[in-house]
Amino acid sequence: MSHIGPATGPDKRTLRREILAERNRLAADDLRKAADALAERALAMPEVARAHAVAAYVSMGAEPGTLALLDALRARGVRVLLPALLPDNDLDWGEYAGEGSLAHVRHGGGRMTLSEPTGERLGPDAVTDTDVVLLPGLAVDGRGIRLGRGGGSYDRVLARLERAGARPALLVLLYGSEVVAHVPAEPHDRPVDAVVTPSGVRRFA
């Protein structure tokens, strides 16, 4: 994939469109290889290696794949929490018990289908008891500012962590070219601690 966006950075909507178009060009074999490499890189991180509980998500379409990582964490005995989208775009959480414990759930009048845990709902505050939070994203810049999909669900998660005084490691999983020069930031944006790509890990101050 090529570098996306000029040094000054396009607006969020344009940047999202460019990155999604690039992802949609990836072949299935490239997606599988990237997912395996992401899992290997993430599992080698000290904060992931010592985690007892990780909040994660199930990747969709051409997103950097997460299932290999989820299964590896579970095999280590890590408690893995996955989100369930609520009507107000906030997130509830449930425990991952293997790929068979997921259900495809339609949201937004059928415009979006997500894989969500089928077990007991633990409440939106369950995320505050995790050691690591894996955040979906489309890009991150050198300050650690993450570009999300625009729904605001993870802004609520980050605000909830802050209110609770919780400090899990915040990691975003991306393809290498999605580490860009600039992501337009809002006053409430909270930087992530590190980005994991198939080729390595980059930490932010």
Query: Which has the higher per-residue pLDDT, 37 or 188?
Result: 37
pLDDT tens column, 46-58: 999 999 999 999 9
Beta-strand pair 102-107/169-173: unpaired
Indicate the pLDDT class of residue 151, thresholds 50, 70 and 90.
confident
pLDDT confidence of residue 2: 38
Full-model pTM: 0.91
Indicate the pLDDT class of residue 108, thresholds 50, 70 and 90.
confident
Which residue bears the tokens 């919780």? 166
All domains of the chain, ordered by start, with CATH?
12-203 (3.40.50.10420)
Closest CA to 66 of 22, 27, 32, 100: 32
Contacts 24+ apart (CB under 8 A), 27-36: 31/62, 31/65, 32/65, 33/198, 34/64, 34/65, 34/175, 34/198, 35/59, 35/64, 35/65, 35/66, 35/67, 35/68, 35/69, 36/68
Residue 99 has pLDDT above 60, yes or no: yes
pLDDT confidence of residue 188: 78
In this prediction, residues 97-123 reach a mean pLDDT of 89
pLDDT confidence of residue 136: 95
Closest CA to 128 of 85, 159, 97, 150: 159
> For residue 163, which amino acid is it?
R
